[in-house]
């Protein structure tokens, strides 16, 4: 599907840029920046493929890694320009989240998974790269701390699964589910929507 | 085996609760809490299955994830009640550790692994979920820091392996090995037993 | 290949020692020390094998884990002696890096990967164990923070791939590529060579 390929490309680029930006802010050198860009871009899909018992998608298609390297070099060379366009990046990132979630859901259903398995694997595909990025940079993963992020993946994947059960063609269900993920993500960013917390004061980060 | 299924269920529930409790204490929202509950409960078994070249056990049996979600919601809604029963949770947790270790050892031996491979894989099955939980929450994994925890897995898995070598029926070796893990764990909690450290002052957490 | 086996053994030992040393410095007990030694030694190869859809190399050959245990016990018992030989350890570590990278590249090419896939997988094999070690100990992985480390893997793996394309026998390309990794690593240590950073002040470690 041409649209999916385009959005997949945009998303890979945006995820790679988010990894590279975090590396710059942590004072990492050019190599650390490159590694963080690549793992952020390919991490989620790699987790998905390994769990499905397949070889990672980048084993036989180097375009994803080359695209991530290009994103890393752009951030390295044009840091000030890139950060000025950070709103645009959040849009890219939402597009990547939607594309990765739907691709993950498609592959999970192809492997015969049920509703729960499909939703979990699609969500892991969407958020996996960002989790690895944050762990490597020494942060608690942002998806665990705030914002409607993985929730958007869960809703989109669930919708995709039900549309498929009702025999809706993938030509319709894929863009629809992807759009739902993207719109939920962008709306939550715009309105600063969050999920409730349990009514307990947070402890300091390290246990006694 | 009915007993094993029962203990596996208890253990999954206890591990999910431990993940959810940690999330509440870190001030995470409802989604972070749910994710941490699920990965703590299914993390160890997922690592085991991926290493064995199988698809994760929750791909085609959603009961584990639904049970973890239930545990997450209970913690979210009844935080004060749950924490009052923390001693009970440590018992559940020990039961889970025993069940997961024995299940891991069984699957490892079915795949033809030797003694060392079986012990390592069984231990990873027992402690994997807790390690992922602590990494995601930004802590050094508790099994690396204190207490006889993984040691209990190692002894139980080694015992299980030798019983199998002596052609003891699994109907006997499984509950026996499981009980050994649980008893060692509970005794070490009761008597605050720890392993020795190398005689060197600890450095501050971040290298210069 | 006898030479490769020898260097693989030296490298496994050196990686296990580096994990055990970090555990001692973090005040971990004997078990934490043993776990950190083992995962540092076998982590990179395990990631490689899982991605290739194989069972980890230590499933059916317990010598790697037993060697790592021996390294852990030596560090535990002879901490002062081991630290006095830390320069020697950096040499061992460089040898391990070279051996692991070349073994990773060989297995990647056997699986039919192209240049980019081979380089990425070989690098992951070389640096994976150290990344897991640092994550478990609560540090940002050292390969992301400083020094020509993974860069040495990348150059060695690329060289190995091109030599294979030119039909150079593995009896020549393996030691040559390994030597290149080792020499680059040791030279960068000797001359304190680093890669450039993007010209931006680093932020504090935790985001607001």
Residue of B nearest to A52 (CA): B55
Best residue of A16, A20, A22, A25 to probe chain C, by most C CBs closer than 10 Å: A25
Instruction: Spell out the alpha helix ranges (H) of C52-149.
Output: 63-77, 79-84, 86-110, 115-136, 142-145
- Domain-located, residue B131: yes
Question: Is A201 contained in some domain?
Answer: no
Output the pLDDT for position C77: 86
Q: Which of C131, C140, C200 lies nearest to residue A79, judging by beta carbons?
A: C200
Residue A188 has a CB neighbour count (10 Å cut-off) of 18
CA distance C81 to chain A (A): 32
Instruction: Give the pLDDT confidence score for residue C193 in this predicted structure.
Output: 64
Which long-range contacts link A190-198 to residues 24+ away (Cβ below 8 Å)?
A193/A147, A193/A148, A194/A146, A194/A147, A194/A148, A194/B29, A195/A148, A195/A151, A195/B29, A195/B30, A195/B31, A196/B29, A196/B30, A197/B24, A197/B27, A197/B28, A197/B29, A197/B30, A198/B24, A198/B30, A198/B33, A198/B75, A198/B76, A198/B79
Give A97→chain C minimum CA distance, Å.
22
Q: Chain B: which residues have CB within 8 Å of chain C? A: 50-53, 111-117, 120-121, 131, 135, 139-141, 143-146, 148-151, 194-200, 202-203, 205-207
| CB–CB contact A52 B55 (8 Å) | yes
Query: In a mutagenesis test of the C interface, which of A36, A62, A73 is the best target, namely the one with the most C β-carbons within 10 Å?
Result: A62
Which residue of B24, B28, B202 is the best one to mutate when testing the A interface, meaning the one whose CB has the most A CBs within 10 A? B28
**C117 assigned to some structural domain:** yes
pLDDT for C122 equals 94
The verdict on residue C208 lying in a domain is: no
Q: What's the Cα-to-Cα distance from C9 to each of C14, C64, C87, C95, rounded to whole Å?
A: 9, 8, 18, 10
The first and second tokens of residue C158, run together, are 């690329």
How many Å apart are CA C17 and CA C21, to the nearest integer?
A: 6
Q: What is the pLDDT of residue B178?
A: 92
- pLDDT per residue over C161-202, tens digit each? 999 989 998 888 998 999 999 999 888 887 766 666 666 544
In this complex, do C117 and A29 lie within 8 Å of one another by their Cβ atoms?
no
pLDDT of B183 strictly over 90 = yes
CB contact (8 A) between residue A205 and residue B26: yes
- C196 lies in some domain: no
pLDDT at A183: 93
Distance in Å, alpha carbon of B107 to nearest chain C alpha carbon? 12
d(CA C159, CA C109): 13
User: How far apart, in whole angstroms, are the C-alpha atoms of residue B43 and residue B61?
Assistant: 15
**Is A137:A164 a contact under the CB 8 Å cutoff?**
no
Cβ–Cβ below 8 Å for A200 and B25 = yes
B118 contacts: CB under 8 Å, gap ≥ 6? B105, B108, B109, B157, B160, B161
Place of tokens 């002696």: C81
Nearest chain B CA: its distance from C77 CA (Å): 7
The continuous run of DSSP H or E covering B67 comes out as helix B63-77
pTM flag (> 0.90): no
- Let me know how long chain B is: 208
pLDDT score recorded for residue C206: 45
| Euclidean distance between CA atoms B37 and B22, whole angstroms | 9
Under 8 Å CB pairs connecting chains B and C tally to 93
d(CA B38, CA A202): 21
Q: pLDDT tens for residues B20-52?
A: 988 888 888 888 888 899 999 999 999 999 888
**Per-residue DSSP letter, C169:** -
Three-class SS state of B30: helix
How far apart (Å, rounded) are the C-alpha atoms in residues A57 and C51? 10
Residue with tokens 């820091």: B145
Residue A191 gets the label, from left (phi > 0), alpha (psi -120 to 50) or beta, of alpha
- Closest chain A residue by Cα to residue C153: A31
User: What's the domain range around B60?
Assistant: 2-191
Minimal CA separation from B69 to chain C, in Å:
27
- The backbone torsions φ and ψ at residue C197, rounded to the nearest 5 degrees and listed phi first, read -110, 155
Phi-psi sector, C144: left (phi>0), alpha (psi -120 to 50), beta: alpha
CA gap B183, B98 in Å, rounded: 9
Residue among B52, B120, B144 whose CB faces C136 most closely: B144
Output the six-digit token pair for A171: 């030509």
Total domain count, chain C: 1
SS (H, E, C) A3-49: HHHHHHHHHHHHHHHHHHHHHHHCCCEHHHHHHHHHHHHHHHHHHHH
Which residues neighbour C195 within 8 Å (Cβ) at sequence distance 6 or greater?
Answer: A29, A30, A31, C148, C151
Torsion C17-C22-C26-C28 (CA) sign: negative
pLDDT of residue C156: 94
ipTM of the predicted assembly exceeds 0.95: no
Residue matched to tokens 């397949």: A54
Identify the DSSP state of B201.
Answer: P
Tell me the shortest Cα–Cα distance from A183 to chain C, in angstroms.
Answer: 26
Beta-carbon separation of A196 and B29 below 8 A: yes
Intervals of chain C under pLDDT 50 = 201-208
How many cross-chain Cβ pairs, A to B, lie less than 8 Å apart?
Answer: 93
Q: Which residues of C touch B (CB under 8 A)?
A: 23-33, 35-36, 38, 46, 50, 53-56, 58-60, 62, 65-66, 75-76, 79, 135-139, 142
pLDDT of residue C205: 46
Spatial distance between the Cα atoms of A205 and B163, rounded to a whole number of angstroms: 43
Question: What's the whole-number mean pLDDT along residues B45-61?
Answer: 88
Measured between CA atoms, the residue of chain C closest to residue A205 is C206
Contact B7, B98 (CB under 8 A): yes
Range list of H helices, A78-206: 79-84, 86-110, 115-136, 142-145, 150-165, 170-191
The confidence score (pLDDT) of residue B78 equals 82
- Taking Cα atoms as reference points, which of B52, B167, B44 lies closest to residue B98? B44
Residue stretches of chain A with pLDDT short of 50: 201-208
Contact yes or no for C72/C33 (Cβ under 8 A): yes
Q: Mean pLDDT check: name the lowest of A14-23, B80-89, B92-101, C151-160.
A: B80-89
* A60/C113 CB distance under 8 A: yes
In angstroms, rounded to a whole number, what is the distance separating the alpha carbons of residues A19 and C162?
30
Asked, for residue B113, whether it belongs to a domain, the answer is yes
Helical packing angle, C170-191 and C86-110, nearest 10°: 140
Confidence check: pLDDT of B109 > 50? yes
Q: Of A194 and B99, which is predicted with more confidence?
A: B99
For residue A26, give the chain C residue with the closest CA.
C202
3-state secondary structure of C89: helix
In a domain, C200, yes or no: no
Question: B197 - beta bridge partners?
Answer: C29
User: Looking at per-residue confidence, does B77 or C202 come out higher?
Assistant: B77
Overall average pLDDT of the B48-69 stretch: 89
pLDDT at A48: 92
d(CA A107, CA A57): 12
The secondary structure of residue C76, as a DSSP letter, is H
Q: Establish if C169 belongs to a structural domain.
A: yes
Mean pLDDT score across all residues of chain B = 84
Chains linked to C by 3 or more Cβ pairs within 8 Å: A, B
| B177 Cα to chain A: minimum distance (Å) | 29
Smallest Cβ distance to A145: which of B24, B32, B59? B32
């Amino acid at each position: 599907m041409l649209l999916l390929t385009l959005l997949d490309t945009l998303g890979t680029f945006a995820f790679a840029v988010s990894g590279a930006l975090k590396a710059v802010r942590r004072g990492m050198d050019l190599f650390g920046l490159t590694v963080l860009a690549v793992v952020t871009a390919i991490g989620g899909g790699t987790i998905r493929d390994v769990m499905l018992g397949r070889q990672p998608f980048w084993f036989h298609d180097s375009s994803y890694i080359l695209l991530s390297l290009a994103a890393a070099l752009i951030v390295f060379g044009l840091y000030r320009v890139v950060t000025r366009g950070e709103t645009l990046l959040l849009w890219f990132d939402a597009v990547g989240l939607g594309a990765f979630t739907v691709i993950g859901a498609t592959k999970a259903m192809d492997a015969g998974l049920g509703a729960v398995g499909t939703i979990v694997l699609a969500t892991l595909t969407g958020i996996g790269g960002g989790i690895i990025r944050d762990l490597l940079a020494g942060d608690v993963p942002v998806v665990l701390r705030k914002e409607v992020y993985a929730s958007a993946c869960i809703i989109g994947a669930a919708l995709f699964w039900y549309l498929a059960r009702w025999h809706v063609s993938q030509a319709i269900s894929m863009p629809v589910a992807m759009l739902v993920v993207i719109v939920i993500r962008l709306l939550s960013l715009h309105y600063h929507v969050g999920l409730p917390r349990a009514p307990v004061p947070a402890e300091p980060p390290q246990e006694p």
